[in-house]
Amino acid sequence: MDLQTTLRSTGSARTFRPDPVPDATLAAVLDDARFAPSGGNKQPWRVAVVKSAEIRRTMADLMQPVWDEYMGAQAAGHRAFAFGRSVDAPPLPTPNPLLDHILDVPVVLAVAADLRDIAIMDGNADRPPMVGGASVYPFCWSILLAARAHGLGGVITTFLSRREAQAASVLGLPEHHALVATIFLGVPEHQNTRLKRRPVEAFTTVDRFDGTPFSA
Ligand SMILES: Cc1cc2nc3c(=O)[nH]c(=O)nc-3n(C[C@H](O)[C@H](O)[C@H](O)COP(=O)(O)O)c2cc1C
């Protein structure tokens, strides 16, 4: 598959066939993904391949209430966990196939980043910092793209970061590291390739963000 098609058609997969993913395939995926860019080429990522059923179950137990909180906010018409938006909605207990079947997901990766290796350019802004993530999320996305090249699919999730303190002890998160993602991979039951995304003119303007719409 050519790069342009891959970029335009790599949707999330959250349910997987029972086929196991050999360690050699996962190693090959990570070996491709490691070429992702990072600030100063510091490559601040660490990956834990979570095979232990006990650790996976604990992860799911930590993520489920966050999912319920998210769904409760959505049901009340709010954008959950967004900056500057307070949400006063009760959690809505909602099944989540990834978490319900976490023991059956072929690959579960916990991804962390060493904060000492990241230039957080907006670390002093009076809003939540954003720039640091740019040194690790391209790597996460490269994992999904590389997985696709190996016939796999999956999804990046972040809900475990809301329980980082508890997850840290379960996963042995090193000091000065942030837990940035949990990535689920496997042979997708269905590979979503028809992605819904806004058109370029909906988010691109000339000169300034309040400029005229950019179009070819
Ligand atoms: C930073 C990030 C966080 C995400 N967190 C979650 C998550 O916690 N749970 C989940 O099911 N999907 C998660 N996703 C996947 C998005 O929901 C998905 O990319 C989006 O809905 C578009 O769907 P599509 O890729 O199938 O087109 C996340 C994606 C990104 C990039």
Contact 36, 144 (CB under 8 A): no
Q: Per-residue pLDDT tens for 79-108?
A: 888 888 777 899 999 999 999 999 999 999
Residue type, 95: P
Distance 154 CA to ligand 1 centre (A): 10
Distance 212 CA to ligand 1 centre (A): 30
Output the pLDDT for position 86: 77
CA dihedral 119, 123, 127, 131 (to 10 degrees): 0
**Alpha-carbon span 172 to 46, nearest angstrom:** 12
Q: Per-residue pLDDT tens for 38-80?
A: 999 999 999 999 999 999 999 999 999 999 999 999 999 888 8
Select from 108, 144, 158 the residue to mutate for testing ligand 1; criterion: most ligand atoms less than 8 Å from CB. Answer: 158
